[in-house]
């Protein structure tokens, strides 16, 4: 049975299966994903497919990216940004472009990265096609126990039991 099913809303998404986050990574596990067939907000007619390796701390993760576009004319400009705590072993240009053509459908990229700490890292790709907009993609790189690196705001409960995330307001108090 094929995965693709017709959906009645443009934005009902088929999510990839939940990622397993093991605390011990004995051997690289391949993480795959694609934007093809998924809802996309307005923007450049581009898609991404990727494979990256879930590796142990210090090990090299091979990240293979394929960009595609339904546009067959013009140029697709690409920018690559690697999370600051992710070491890039390969030396890939960070700004480059592809000439889009009728015969060529896939535009590949390969990076090698590693990290000194457990975490969920990202390689970010930005594409722009003149006259047709831009689009951002992120490729996850899982290292060790792949937890979110950003600090979360601790949550509280209101007196009605609602879970809230509290931020401080800028406040001006005037007493008469």
44: Cα within 13 Å, side-chain hemisphere: 26
- What lies within 8 Å, CB to CB, of 42 at 6+ separation is 133
75 in contact with another protein (CB under 8 A): no
Residue in 42, 91, 95, 103 binding another protein, rule: CB under 8 A: 42
Tell me phi and psi for residue 76, to 5 degrees.
-105, 110
> Does residue 39 touch another protein according to CB under 8 A?
yes
Judged by CB under 8 A, which stretch of 54-62, 88-96, 110-118, 165-173 contacts another protein? 165-173
24 near another protein, rule: CB under 8 A: no
Count the residues in the chain. 176
**Given the rule CB under 8 A, which of 3-11, 22-30, 57-65, 108-116 is the region that contacts another protein?**
3-11
4 binds another protein (CB under 8 A): yes
Q: Which tokens sit at 9?
A: 């809303």
Site for another protein in 94-113 (CB under 8 A): none
Q: Can residue 36 be called a binding residue for another protein (CB under 8 A)?
A: yes
Least distance CB 67 / another protein (angstroms)? 12
Ramachandran bin of 123, using left for φ above 0, alpha for ψ from -120 to 50, beta for the remaining angles = beta
Give the tokens for residue 170.
């800028």
């Amino acid at each position: 049975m094929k995965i693709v099913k017709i959906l009645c809303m443009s934005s009902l998404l088929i999510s990839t299966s939940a990622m397993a986050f093991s605390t011990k990574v004995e051997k690289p596990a391949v993480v795959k994903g694609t934007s093809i067939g998924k809802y996309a907000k307005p923007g450049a007619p581009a898609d991404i497919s990727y494979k990256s390796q879930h590796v142990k701390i210090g090990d090299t993760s091979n990240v293979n990216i394929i960009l595609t576009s339904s546009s067959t004319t013009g140029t697709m400009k690409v920018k690559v940004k690697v999370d600051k705590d992710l070491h890039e072993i390969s030396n890939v240009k960070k700004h480059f472009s592809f000439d889009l053509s009728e015969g060529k459908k896939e535009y590949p990229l390969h990076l090698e990265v590693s990290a000194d700490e457990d975490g969920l890292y990202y390689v970010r790709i930005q594409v722009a096609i003149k006259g047709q907009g831009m689009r951002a993609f992120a490729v996850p790189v899982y290292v060790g126990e792949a937890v979110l690196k950003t600090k979360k705001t601790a949550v509280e409960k209101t007196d009605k039991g609602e879970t809230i995330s509290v931020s401080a307001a800028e406040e001006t108090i005037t007493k008469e």
